[in-house]
Amino acid sequence: AASVVFDHVTKVYGKDVVAVNDVSLTIAPGKLVTLLGPSGCGKTTTLRMIAGLEMATKGRILIGDKDVTTLPATDRDVSMVFQSYALFPHMTVLENVSYGLKFSGFSKAETLERANAGLSLVGLDGYGGRLPSELSGGQQQRVAVARALVLEPQVLLFDEPLSNLDAKLRRHVREEIREIQQNLGLTVVYVTHDQEEALAVSDEIVVMKNAAIAQIGRPRELYDAPADTFVADFIGEANLVECQIVAVEGDMAEIEVGGIRHRLPSRGLRPGKAMLALRPSRIRVTEDEGLAAAVEKVTYVGPRMEYTFAGDFGQLFAVSDDVDAPLKVGDAIRIGLAASGPVLVPDA
């Protein structure tokens, strides 16, 4: 498995469609890194530039120690799994999986052995003789994964591989992909617009917005410490509450929100307007000092309660596991800021 490096890479389609704008990025060998972002933010273009299916307009791309910026796709030792599976419909499963091996100089016996091993890896032993049309969507996508795996590429690329599968199967196949990636120590670059999928499978997530990187981090880091309101909102759910930074001392800021003051990490921000990002599951009601609020809405949703709290600061959406002693509409409460884990982000 090899690393992938983007060094100030830009891709412009035609005259002025900037699909990827000055992106620099290092993907470590053996890691699964996800490109996550809304439709049109440049994920597929980034992936296709790694594959050599698109050429960078500016900048350099390295795979391992090799500068591949101008290399054609066939010389890059990379394989790609597409959303559409892209299987050959008239070929059997085994022929599909063997297809790429034919050009790799293996003997007939070796090719057969490798293809069968590939099918085994994705849990499709015994399916070699079938046609793609005789398989379910999930099985077809596993064939596509096997076909990419048997080439033992330095880097394996996935472009929204689960989009055509139903929700239950999506979870299953994503776990399978992650397991194979970890067992074989593969470098995988995985594209999705689904934040939950990204959180579940990734070593690292690259959040993209408007052709550029918004933030890079491990799933937990992005969730706990989003860099801005876009990331806070895109990864998990977040309440964004306006606040005022009244003073900054070292790494700490003193803020004012809803008539109370609170100290928390400044994260490089200066005095002035800022936003607090609060996760619904972390919001805590307190007996002591906190934001004064009223319970505006209460919804019982199976294993948890959902609340809307309202106060001078605006509205907060909160969830709680405590279904036995729920709050009631109209209750006057206080929200403990320290206990609720707010994070400062720039005012967007």
Asked if residue 44 binds Mg ion (CB under 5 A), the reply is yes
Q: Is 188 a residue that touches ligand ADP (CB under 6 A)? A: no
**Least distance from Mg ion to the Cβ atom of residue 50, Å:** 13
With left for phi above 0 and alpha for psi between -120 and 50, is residue 160 left, alpha or beta?
left
Contact 271, 248 (CB under 8 A): yes
Per rule CB under 6 A, count of chain residues that contact ligand ADP: 12
Kindly report the backbone phi and psi dihedral angles of residue 257, in degrees, each rounded to the nearest multiple of 5, phi listed first. -150, 135
Closest alpha carbon to 278 in 305, 329, 314, 251: 314
Nearer to ligand ADP (CB atom), residue 53 or residue 112: 53
- For position 41 contacting ligand ADP by CB under 6 A, the verdict is yes
| C-beta closer to ligand ADP: residue 41 or 206 | 41
Alpha carbon distance 310, 21 (integer Å): 40
Q: Which residues contact 35 (CB under 8 A, 6 or more apart)?
A: 43, 46, 47, 189, 190, 191, 192, 206, 208
Q: Which of 2, 9, 34, 45 binds ligand ADP (CB under 6 A)?
A: 45
User: Segment contacting Mg ion (CB under 5 A): 38-46, 87-95, 124-132, 301-309?
Assistant: 38-46
Q: Are 303 and 321 in contact (CB under 8 A)?
A: yes
Residue nearer to Mg ion on the CB measure, 34 or 44 = 44
Q: Closest CB to Mg ion among 38 and 126?
A: 38
Place of tokens 């690329």: 157
| Binding flags for ligand ADP, 7-26, as an x/- string (CB under 6 A) | ------xx--x-x-------
Asked whether position 88 contacts ligand ADP by CB under 6 A, the answer is no
- Asked if 98 touches Mg ion (CB under 5 A), the answer is no
How far is it, in rounded angstroms, from Cα 24 to Cα 302?
A: 44
Rama region for 267: left / alpha / beta (φ>0; ψ in -120 to 50; rest): left
Question: Rule CB under 5 A: is residue 192 a binding residue for Mg ion?
Answer: no
Using rule CB under 6 A, residue 39 touches ligand ADP: yes
Q: Is 43 in the site for ligand ADP (CB under 6 A)?
A: yes
- Using the rule CB under 6 A, is 195 a contact of ligand ADP? no
Distance of CA 90 to the CA centre of its chain: 35
Instruction: Report CA torsion sign: 334, 337, 340, 345.
Output: positive
Compute CA 16 distance to the chain's CA centroid, rounded to the nearest angstrom. Answer: 28
Structure tokens at 338: 């320290």
Look at strands 272-278 and 260-265 and give their pairing. unpaired
What are the tokens at 293? 């609020």
Among 42, 153, 161, 217, interactor with ligand ADP by CB under 6 A: 42
Nearer to ligand ADP, 55 or 248 (CB): 55
Nearest approach in angstroms of CB 20 to ligand ADP is 7
> Residue 111, interface with Mg ion (CB under 5 A)?
no
> CB under 6 A: which stretch of 42-50, 218-226, 288-296, 335-343 binds ligand ADP?
42-50
- CA 87 → CA 82, 129, 140, distances in Å? 10, 14, 8
Beta carbon nearer to Mg ion, 35 or 115: 35
Question: Which parts of this chain interact with Mg ion (CB under 5 A)?
Answer: 44
Question: Which parts of this chain interact with ligand ADP (CB under 6 A)?
Answer: 13-14, 17, 19, 37, 39-45
